[in-house]
């Protein structure tokens, strides 16, 4: 079984909303962590990606930071989520 991606999001962020909508549409399970209301999640995201912009995805050892759906599609494909 594939590891579920972790998606760090900010409430109301249009890129985050688009990313989550895409994952749901494709039936890709994931864990969302809201970084504005959870300082621990924000600290995790900054440590992983070196920046504070959302959405940021952690998939295994790979990290995709500050992305839109255009960047998400090839990232998922590269990691076996076609």
Q: How confident is the model at residue 75 (pLDDT cuts 50, 70, 90)?
A: very high
Ordered domains of the chain (ranges, CATH): 6-78 (3.40.30.10)
Q: Where are the beta strands (DSSP E) in the chain?
A: 6-9, 31-34, 56-59, 62-65
Q: Give SS3 for 82.
A: coil
- Alpha carbon distance 17, 71 (integer Å): 15
Q: What is the mean pLDDT of residues 2-25?
A: 95
CB within 8 A of 1, min separation 6: which ones?
none
∠ CA 8-11-70 to the nearest 5 degrees?
60
Instruction: Give the rounded percent of residues in the chain with a pLDDT score beyond 70.
Output: 96
């Amino acid at each position: 079984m594939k590891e579920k991606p972790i998606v760090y999001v900010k409430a109301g962020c249009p890129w985050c909303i688009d990313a989550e909508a895409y994952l749901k549409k494709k039936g890709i399970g994931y864990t969302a962590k809201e970084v504005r209301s959870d300082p621990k999640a924000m600290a995790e995201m900054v440590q992983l990606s070196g920046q504070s912009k959302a959405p940021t995805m952690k998939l295994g050892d790979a990290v995709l930071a500050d992305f839109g759906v255009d960047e998400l599609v090839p990232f998922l494909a590269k990691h076996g989520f076609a």
